[in-house]
């Protein structure tokens, strides 16, 4: 699903994606996008921020209130760091700034869909239940549970936490992780990863046996104290 109010740009994106075998439905404003999302249950959402009526931030907040799994990419001219951080904090998986490269957009979409499919496949082939301190991480459901407290993770949060857990008490290399999950190791991708690490840290703050430390210039490590 593409939510873009500029008709020429929307048509260019739609045509470019459809030549690569994607099916694209266009919504021209936020309210239309919300109705279309509920009706179509799309595989991925590409959303502008500056939309008539309901803006892109509000639309993504509404989507995340009902669906924590669908991948979401902001595609917008809003370039301020606070806009990028806010977009990621409310649940977007990626944030691309206009003007943009169509090839880069296609690569990001394919990478996101591929990760989603790999994630679902891996969850269906095993129990996908991992104990992390006092928490239970359900990979398939993307849930982090501690007693009665259930945290629903986004796709990107679940992907990143899984990588941290797989090398628990060891170093998760920063550049390798950026290339694997973001497809790039540029400063924007690095800033995005830092935002997600901060989120995951907050989820574990009630458990003093778990700490995510920053190994400056190298990466992160999820430490479980016995």
Per-residue pLDDT tens over the stretch 88-140: 888 888 899 999 999 999 988 988 887 666 655 544 444 578 999 999 999 88
* 8 Å CB contact between 68 and 152: yes
Q: What is the pLDDT of residue 143?
A: 94
Residue range 87-99, pLDDT digits in tens: 988 888 889 999 9
> Mind listing the domains of the chain with CATH numbers?
2-119 (3.40.50.2300), 127-224 (1.10.10.10)
Backbone angles phi, psi at 222, to 5 degrees: -90, 115
pTM of the predicted model as reported, rounded to 2 decimal places: 0.62
DSSP string, 131-178: EETTEEEETTTTEEEETTEEEEPPHHHHHHHHHHHHTTTS-EEHHHHI
Q: What is the pLDDT of residue 123?
A: 46
Beta pairing class for 135-138 and 143-146: antiparallel
What are the Cα distances from residue 129, in Å, to 120, 122, 139, 209, 224?
14, 12, 6, 19, 17
Percentage above 70 pLDDT, the chain? 94
Average pLDDT estimate for 198-220: 93
């Amino acid at each position: 699903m593409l939510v873009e109010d500029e008709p020429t740009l929307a048509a260019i994106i739609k045509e470019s994606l459809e030549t690569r075998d994607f099916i694209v439905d266009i919504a021209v404003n936020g309210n239309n996008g919300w109705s279309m999302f509920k009706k179509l249950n799309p595989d991925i959402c590409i959303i502008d921020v500056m939309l008539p009526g309901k803006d892109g931030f509000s639309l993504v907040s509404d989507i995340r209130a009902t669906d924590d799994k669908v991948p979401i990419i902001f595609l917008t001219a809003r370039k301020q760091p606070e806009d990028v951080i806010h977009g990621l904090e409310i649940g977007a998986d990626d944030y691309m700034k206009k003007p943009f490269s169509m090839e880069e957009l296609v690569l990001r979409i394919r990478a996101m869909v591929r990760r989603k499919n790999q994630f679902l496949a891996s969850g269906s082939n095993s129990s996908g239940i991992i104990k992390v301190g006092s928490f239970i991480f359900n990979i398939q459901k993307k849930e982090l549970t501690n007693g009665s407290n259930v945290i629903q993770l986004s796709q990107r949060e679940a992907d990143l936490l899984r990588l941290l857990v797989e090398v628990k008490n060891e170093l998760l290399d920063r550049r390798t992780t950026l290339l694997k999950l973001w497809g790039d190791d540029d400063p924007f991708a690095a800033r995005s990863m830092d935002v997600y690490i901060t989120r995951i840290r907050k989820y574990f703050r009630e458990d003093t046996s778990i700490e995510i430390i920053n190994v400056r210039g190298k990466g992160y490590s999820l430490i479980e104290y016995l």
